[in-house]
Amino acid sequence: MTNNDTEKEQLSQIRDEIDAIDSEIQALISRRAECAQKVADIKTQGGKVEAVFYRPEREAQVLRAVKERNKSLISGDDMARLFREIMSVCLALEQPIKVAYLGPEGSYSHASVLKQFGSSVHPYAVSSIEEVFQSVEKNEANYGLVPVENSSEGIVKQTQNELISTPLKISGEVSLVIHHCLLSQADHIDDIKKVVAHPQALGQCENWLKNNMPTVQIEAVESNALAAQMAQKDASLGAIASEQAAQLYELKTLETHIEDRKDNTTKFWVLGSEETEPSGDDKTAMVIAMPNKAGALLSVLSSFAERDISMTRIISLPSSETKWDYLFFIDVIGHQKDEGLMAAIKEVQQKTSFFKLLGSFPVSPLS
């Protein structure tokens, strides 16, 4: 037998083994789907129509367990993403999940919806962040996803303003590394007369634009995906958007990775009507205002520090009600039902002139 024949025989044996494994995987996925259907049947017994099918804390626990027991050649993150897709398909058997986001299709918000819910979700594009909130409040969508903060440009003010008055709860958090591209119908960067993008994207690429396109006009629009749509119709325009947008809108990618910071990351929050139960690794977000007196903020923060509760974020925003007063958005480690945090929250409420609990939610297992 020649070396070539030996190689063919070895490959044939390995491929037969792969086929057998694939058959086992398919059978197990089918069994999992059957279990998901049984869950749906139990939840809808007696004609219940308000059953909650998507449980963020349960999904976070499952994905953490996947990563913890992973000993394979596949990385923990990649293994979790595979299971994310399996869970997405099974959840769709229980109830199709509709998620509102700042569209159109191809925006970074759209990519975050797919990362959080998997490709079997039903993305529902709207034209503004305010509409995301309204869609969920009016039950036009099961959940909404909104950008909260960018690592280089800071908070998204439209989101923070809506959080103050909405009845919705934060039920999840998604972080997305943002790599911007310059897209156009034009063949060369010198042919572009105007660059269009969302204000956050323009800020994230400010130095690159100054250094590479100093004389080009800049225009802010509602979203980067909308910018791509505009560039599709006008060859004199360049759009700052994602590689996905380039494919969707058939644009040329003239430059890639034009963001000023290579660790450019945007955090998104998932909004829903239900409170999320503890998952074992959670965050809690709140917004407060305090009487204008010395030491007021320090007194509030001491309620967390004395109980060894770590704070992950504090952002101040001018109040729209009273001149020179500020609202503080605070995120801490823990769930509102944890004994220590529950006591801290009760104490903080007594020290503040305004307090709103925005929600407790799982720390995402998906990096």
Domains identified in the chain and CATH numbers? 3-93 (1.20.59.10), 96-178+265-269 (3.40.190.10), 182-256 (3.40.190.10), 278-362 (3.30.70.260)
Q: Quote the pLDDT of residue 28.
A: 96
Percent of the chain at pLDDT > 70 equals 97
Q: Give the pLDDT score at 144.
A: 97
Residue type, 101: Y
Where residue 317 falls among pLDDT bands split at 50, 70, 90? Answer: confident
Largest CA distance in the chain: 90
Helices marked H in the chain: 3-43, 56-69, 76-94, 108-117, 129-137, 157-165, 199-204, 206-212, 224-233, 243-248, 296-305, 339-351
CB of 224 within 8 A of CB of 239? yes
Q: Residue 95's pLDDT is what?
A: 81
Whether the predicted pLDDT of 50 surpasses 70: no
CA–CA gap between residue 296 and residue 183 (Å, rounded):
49
**Band of pLDDT at residue 46, cut at 50, 70 and 90:** low
Structural tokens at position 101: 């986001």
Q: How high is the pLDDT of residue 40?
A: 84
- Tell me the average pLDDT of the chain: 92
Q: Which residues contact 58 (CB under 8 A, 6 or more apart)?
A: 279
Structure tokens given for 306 = 């004395």
Band of pLDDT at residue 111, cut at 50, 70 and 90: very high
Enumerate helices (H) and strands (E) in the chain, giving the number of each.
Answer: 12, 15
Give the torsion sign (CA, 8, 12, 15, 17): negative
The band of 75, judged by pLDDT with boundaries at 50, 70 and 90, is very high
